[in-house]
Structure 1
């Protein structure tokens, strides 16, 4: 009798949940971006939001909360209600890198993974007269000259520095990391001759590769990338397990209902693979990459653990 009553209760709950999901969303959704307007994550999220509005049948309001390498926005988002009307559009660094070097109020468990959206490699680039062109030649040059070369990156303990050091530590390379306030500032100092190597996102340096002022011998992905056909991926160098990517994702607050997670993940998948979005990503040197729910959670944890080891080795 008790079993029958329990089954009836579960059936009733399912019946109530189904119409609620069918009606979701009933009002506007707020999308928090932990960065200022105009950056890579912001422009990508805004473009995606336009497509999601059409698919979900509701408006999406953008809230930019920059600061602390994304940690300010992430901390603020923790206060959001887990009702499906507050979402978080971020890149991986605030979740897997920043906590290695800053005391933050959140952890990976503070969020509900919904779906990743796109990804790209970081790249290491040099001036056109640098005495190496291929990835193998580039690493050999650095290895033969410990402490000689400087590389700009996105800040002490930033994802770019940890991505580079995963490779350098594996090869016993000593290069001096010079922190800047992002890829744009790194590029300016690289072009001005203040650092020997640009370390950062592909889209920022791409115009200078196309005009011949710079060349990029290495990307931090296992395989090469179409935007930089001359750059070696890590796999051909025997370093495929040292891959570090810049990737973006949509998350929800902790405790978000799984039915809403699944619906949003499917809608995000459709939007990301819309031809107009794929074309948009290509202009930024990015490609679609959708990893959903639990698998996204595993990706976050795996990257966090790998970067924690590198950070520990650096004494950060």
Structure 2
């Protein structure tokens, strides 16, 4: 279904040969290019980064290596990138948590302004799901049940102050409901606890929930994105709930230390946009349940600024104190 939707939107594109991506840039870089991924290997962020690196290949005149630097909610790898020279040889591919959430809830040394957004490859909303044996069938019924029992429903998240936690609280506060948050080490662990009956609601990305959605374990009812999602027919987007302005997405994108030379930025953008348009990358996004949308530097910067401001408001409203 998702693949048909992408085709209908004109987003399925032909493969592009890496060698033809950016031949004029072949002499722009003096040494190998590193893409820092601030999480452990194996997750969706890591998969996207490695596929982009493979597709760009040696078209920039130098090999591209992906280097994982996980730890401290992705802030260790982020700080490492901030500390590098802005010459285009060190980039960071990440999801949004260390950029728009962590600075509000952790004592980090970097600021968002020290990073230069280059592009985003796509996005997907978070979701709240019940198990298939629940009598709750739709979003309105879940909201009514939560209003009738304040704090009585627990939901798993990626940790205190993580993007899922803040996204859920944005929605809950506008809907006038309360839930009890249970922190886990990421959405995969949340899904395991949910499947085992240890929590009532799965809270995490649609992408991670896809196996449980496909095999019927999860009935996902509330999405934190404005629109419906073609892979989640039971879910209501925020437009349907009357609060589209509370949208919180997971996005994936490339950033660099601020101050990239214009010629190198242009060469990198040409190469990576061509890789994004390849059939292989589009197929990977579709398999992950991610909506493909290539946002350039200006659009990416606007989204980051708006999201950071919104999540900061939520942190202040619910009284989360910065951790060390």
Give the structure 1 partner of residue 19 of structure 2. none
Give the structure 2 partner of residue 266 of structure 1. 270
Give the structure 2 partner of residue 146 of structure 1. 150
Q: Return the match for 2:170 from 150, 153, 166.
A: 166
Give the structure 2 partner of residue 25 of structure 1. 29
Alpha-carbon distance in structure 1 between the residues aligned to 2:135 and 2:160: 27
Q: Return the match for 2:306 from 290, 302, 305.
A: 302
1:174 and 1:49, CA in 2 relative to 1: closer, same or farther beyond 3 A? same
Alpha-carbon distance in structure 2 between the residues aligned to 1:177 and 1:117: 30
> Structure 2: where are the runs of 5+ without partners?
1-23
Measured after TM superposition, the shift of residue 132 of structure 1 is 2.1
Q: Where is the helix percentage greater, Structure 1 or Structure 2?
A: 1
Give the structure 2 partner of residue 119 of structure 1. 123
Measured after TM superposition, the shift of residue 267 of structure 1 is 2.5
Q: Is the 8 A contact 2:58 2:64 kept in 1?
A: no
Alpha-carbon distance in structure 2 between the residues aligned to 1:239 and 1:55: 45
- Partner of 1:97, secondary structure, is helix
Give the structure-1-normalised TM-score.
Answer: 0.90
Q: Return the match for 2:292 from 288, 291, 316.
A: 288
Q: Is the 8 A contact 1:261 1:293 kept in 2?
A: no
Alpha-carbon distance in structure 2 between the residues aligned to 1:295 and 1:22: 28
Instruction: Map 1:146-295 to 2 at 5 A.
Output: 146-295=150-299
Q: Is the 8 A contact 2:130 2:201 kept in 1?
A: yes
Measured after TM superposition, the shift of residue 57 of structure 1 is 4.4
Alpha-carbon distance in structure 2 between the residues aligned to 1:164 and 1:260: 39
Q: Return the match for 2:80 from 68, 76, 81.
A: 76
Structure showing greater radius of gyration is 1
Q: Is the 8 A contact 2:25 2:59 kept in 1?
A: no
- Partner of 1:116, secondary structure, is strand
CA RMSD of aligned residues (A): 1.6
Alpha-carbon distance in structure 2 between the residues aligned to 1:253 and 1:73: 12
**Which ranges of 4 or more aligned residues in structure 1 deviate by more than 6 Å?**
none
Alpha-carbon distance in structure 2 between the residues aligned to 1:215 and 1:250: 33
Q: Is the 8 A contact 1:278 1:287 kept in 2?
A: no
Measured after TM superposition, the shift of residue 40 of structure 1 is 1.4
Q: Return the match for 2:96 from 61, 72, 92.
A: 92
> Structure 1: where are the runs of 5+ without partners?
1-19
Give the structure 1 partner of residue 14 of structure 2. none
Q: Is the 8 A contact 2:164 2:203 kept in 1?
A: yes
Give the structure 2 partner of residue 8 of structure 1. none
